[in-house]
Amino acid sequence: MTDKNVAVSVKNLSKSFGNVKANKNVNMEIYKGEILALLGENGSGKTTLMNMLSGLYYPDSGQIFIDGKEASIQSPRDAYTYGIGMVHQHFKLVDVLTAAENITLGEEGKLNIKKATAKIKEICDKYGFEVDPQKKIFNMSVSEKQTVEIVKVLYRGADILILDEPTAVLTPQETEKLFVVLKNMKADGKAVIIITHKLNEVEEISDRVAVLRAGEYIGDMITAETNAQEMTNMMVGHQVTLNIERPEPKEPKPRIIVEGLTVKDIDGITKLEDVSFIARSGEILGIAGISGCGQKELLESIAGLQHVESGSVKYVNDDGSVEELIGMNPQDIAEKGVALSFVPEDRLGMGLVGNMDIADNMMLRSFRNNGSLFTDKKTPHDLAETIVDKLEVSTPSIETPVRQLSGGNVQKVLVGREISNAPSVLMTAYAVRGLDINSSYTIYDLINEQKKKGTAVIFVGEDLDVLLQISDRILVLCDGQVSGIVEGKKADKNTIGLMMTRLEGGMTNE
């Protein structure tokens, strides 16, 4: 940070959607040869701001200067001509094409794949990427796909890189690799902007942090001169405590017994293989693993949503009697008196109906409960009011469609409903994905509250730091198999990271 060469500077940038001011008079500068971490809670306008730089949105007012000249960025293509490239959270790649084809996609003129491959190789060598240009996207791991996205952006000559939550889908080891590459880019004089919620990563990788709150630019700090607590306070606007409690389990008893569970998907690919474990009451069982290695199938098998090849899932009642859950659908399970709650990964596509209001979403679980032909609208409405009140859901009204709420509030509505019927088993998949610090801690507290009530909690997570703090035991999945179950208190991040990538990896380290 010796030479402060401004790469991008924005002046009084504003953007609103309807009544919502996503960005209000944002002034900020981005320097060459620097990694800037953009921080802010959900809905604070980080993504909107970056989308304006990358040409997806056009600002309502204000100016953007690139290298000191005013720029009008009307499309992603314009952004490329200004040297701005963005890697989105959800990859935008064509599955059936190779890496090289994806990287050159949209180029004008005749395609010379040989020349392109050479250029890709050159970029990879320069920054330390590992990409096989001939490999098809559908054969790639998430981290490889991400690499392709970054190379694509560099291939098009980007000098300013924007990465939206790049580490959310990576293992610790992959994250390390990514950070090495980012540091190489920085050394090359590129400006890198990274959006992330993980403060330890911010501390590790960034030179400077900029904070947005409620669409406004709050300020920036040199990373080396600040700490996680200060950053959080700046984001939230008031003091927060960053501790997840882990109360001792009270008389844990087996609640869910999974034995030899094997699941195949529609194409016959094995998703889970011979998975066995026990989830106990009053205990949080964390599930760790690279995304897509069977977590979803595991939870859905227990919830009665997944066709199972073989194996059994037994529910143990308080009196010791046992119910076999395999072969039942969610309605059968509920009718058996098994209070099973499930917070799925896809909140608006599965857990809730986006276009319905909060009250109608409350009915999803309970609408069959009364004997009549008609729905009871009053009870769900009251429940909605209780949840909005107790969990501090910020919403214009109970009648607001849930898709209009921010991510954190959507999750509060979903978790609120799922815990409202006093569950004996609570399963959560990525319960805090995309949530800001404040909402995340609300959710952790709610889960812990259930644990204290004696609920067996199965917590699928992606942030290992959180998993290590909240779980009593952690089950590590690798490619659909159990690679081990470790005590939450004794486990460390590295061991789990290795177990995630190879079976028994932690033990049989070379």
Return residues touching other proteins (CB under 8 A).
16-20, 58, 60-61, 67, 69-70, 72, 74, 78, 81-83, 303-305, 329-334, 342, 344, 346, 349-356, 360, 363-365, 367-368, 373-375, 377, 404
The minimum distance between CB 16 and other proteins, in angstroms, equals 8
Closest CA to 424 of 390, 458, 391, 379: 458
Closest CA to 482 of 252, 269, 285, 288: 288
CB closer to other proteins, 18 vs 320: 18
Residue 24: CA atoms inside 13 Å, Cβ hemisphere, count? 11
The minimum distance between CB 375 and other proteins, in angstroms, equals 5
Instruction: Quote the CA–CA distance of 257 and 316 in Å, as a whole number.
Output: 8
Give the β-pairing of 456-460 and 284-288: parallel
Q: Which residues of 336-374 are buried (b: 16+ CB within 10 A; e: fewer)?
A: eebebbbbbbebeeebbbeebbbbbbbbebbeeeeeeee
CB closer to other proteins, 17 vs 138: 17
CB closer to other proteins, 20 vs 105: 20
CB atoms within 10 A of CB 21: 17
The minimum distance between CB 135 and other proteins, in angstroms, equals 31
The minimum distance between CB 342 and other proteins, in angstroms, equals 7
CB closer to other proteins, 89 vs 329: 329
CB closer to other proteins, 59 vs 407: 59
Give, for 464, the enclosing helix (H) or strand (E): helix 464-470
The minimum distance between CB 330 and other proteins, in angstroms, equals 4
CB closer to other proteins, 66 vs 163: 66
CB closer to other proteins, 133 vs 344: 344
The minimum distance between CB 247 and other proteins, in angstroms, equals 30
Contact indicator for 174, 189 with CB cutoff of 8 Å: no
Q: Which residues of 143-172 are buried (b: 16+ CB within 10 A; e: fewer)?
A: bbbbbbbbbbbbbbebbbbbbbbbbbbbbb
The minimum distance between CB 351 and other proteins, in angstroms, equals 7
Instruction: Quote the CA–CA distance of 30 and 222 in Å, as a whole number.
Output: 13
Contact indicator for 256, 431 with CB cutoff of 8 Å: no
Instruction: Quote the CA–CA distance of 508 and 71 in Å, as a whole number.
Output: 55
Give the dihedral of Cα atoms 357, 17, 235, 243; nearest 10 deg.
20
CB closer to other proteins, 81 vs 469: 81
CB closer to other proteins, 81 vs 379: 81
Beta bridge partner(s), residue 28:
10
Beta bridge partner(s), residue 485:
475
The minimum distance between CB 246 and other proteins, in angstroms, equals 30
Instruction: Quote the CA–CA distance of 148 and 101 in Å, as a whole number.
Output: 10
The minimum distance between CB 372 and other proteins, in angstroms, equals 8
The minimum distance between CB 374 and other proteins, in angstroms, equals 5
